[in-house]
Structure 1
């Protein structure tokens, strides 16, 4: 797939202003999330009579994406090759990230190239995301995904795009899927990210000191999704060892696609 963003990659350790850490899976292993998720989650949520479509936003180099794919389909670690297993045809997973180098690494190591696609995409660039996602969905005759994954991404959207950007991001995601599995970073992670930049002699995040949405971020994001984005909280699967909740939301079908935040929400 064509690269849609040319953001700088391979930042110094600790910098990663977009969360694009090159060795992310080493200190936040996928297994820590997967232990919280029921193995039969996907069949219980989505109809079996059509290909299931999923989107993973901020996939980094793909380790968690592939682990989620295996877990949700009940595939063993040893399964996966160019020749797909029968179970592997049940789910088509599109994974995107702002970092082209991480996406290239994910593409090179994907065990399911026929059903997991990796693309370099800035999800906050509407001029790039709209045609790209529409083209992908159109291949399946669809206009939305069955489920979206957003794992430890919201903080980076919030720090780089402010309160309005976070609301716009959540509104866009909610218009794009029936189910949303999201892992918000707690406020202490915001402070830690800002502190890392200062230690490296970098400027602070543009929006950090002006953010009005702060505090219990899982609660704040739940409020935005349920009050403003026409979603309902289905389940909290618990928290990882690094204190991040896994929250599953379901669309009630009344959120206008791509709705912009009102002036009161900005």
Structure 2
């Protein structure tokens, strides 16, 4: 399900799953991680079993995954230094994306191969998702992740799988993660994505015109997670320069460190 290819590579805008090949150039990782407080991981998990397990869904080519990892572990000041052995004992991060070419790039460029795993996965396919996640969790004797990341992914799930798909996706993340950091795209991004496809002469997103969940998407995602998925909003870390909120949720159905 990679982006359609033209003679010179992916056509501009032809990324129906958000699998833009140069995404971090126009939404740099620093725009997100700078909003997160230092020491966040320690404050959320002061006494939890280590390593903590993280899940990043829709990681693209991995630049943001690596930046989040560095920030959470306080490694951002030495990005080119060798991977500290203690890092792998502190946090293991599993990152997945639907596009195998983006995952290949992430695997080749990752400075933390012992701590960050990248894999191609259609997260909405239960036949692929369930054994894949289970095998990772079983390596650590765990049944869930401590923290999940869903950074500018909800729109693509929504456009490609409809309202029901968005509800299913958020419920899955809530069931898998004790904490969940979400960056929902605002509704104007939906309209822009649809316009890009039309300019390319492609069929519109199958569900775009039938979506009933619309408008203030940060509020909608918050309402779904808190009212239907047994989570509570812990903190809003503000908005990025491109006007997307960073929202941290916590499961009310699972005690901290119970994964």
Answer whether TM exceeds 0.5 for this pair: yes
**Corresponding residue for residue 39 of structure 2:** 40
User: 2:231, 2:249 within 8 Å by CA — same for their partners in 1?
Assistant: yes
**Corresponding residue for residue 23 of structure 1:** 22
Determine the C-alpha separation between the residues in 2 that align with 1:148 and 1:83. 22
**Corresponding residue for residue 145 of structure 1:** 145
User: 1:73, 1:88 within 8 Å by CA — same for their partners in 2?
Assistant: no
SS in 1 for 2:131: helix
Instruction: Verify: 1:106 aligned to 2:106, yes or no.
Output: yes
Determine the C-alpha separation between the residues in 2 that align with 1:77 and 1:164. 42
Structure 1 residue 78: deviation in Å? 2.9
Q: Deviations over 1:132-157 (max 9, x none)?
A: 00000000000000000000000000
Report 1:169-248 matches (<5 A): 169-248=169-248
Greater CA drift, 48-57 or 146-155: 48-57
Structure 1 residue 35: deviation in Å? 1.1
Report the count of equivalent residues.
248
Determine the C-alpha separation between the residues in 2 that align with 1:83 and 1:228. 40
Determine the C-alpha separation between the residues in 2 that align with 1:80 and 1:88. 16
Q: Residues 86 and 129 of structure 1: is their aligned pair in 2 closer, same or farther, counting only changes over 3 Å?
A: same
User: 2:67, 2:76 within 8 Å by CA — same for their partners in 1?
Assistant: no
SS in 1 for 2:59: coil
Instruction: Verify: 1:8 aligned to 2:6, yes or no.
Output: no
SS in 2 for 1:137: helix
User: 1:53, 1:91 within 8 Å by CA — same for their partners in 2?
Assistant: yes
For structure 1, the 5+ residue unaligned runs are: 1-6, 255-266
Determine the C-alpha separation between the residues in 1 that align with 2:119 and 2:146. 19
TM-score norm. by structure 2 comes to 0.93
Structure 1 residue 80: deviation in Å? 5.6
User: 1:82, 1:114 within 8 Å by CA — same for their partners in 2?
Assistant: no
Structure 1 residue 91: deviation in Å? 0.4
Determine the C-alpha separation between the residues in 2 that align with 1:49 and 1:141. 11
TM-score norm. by structure 1 comes to 0.90
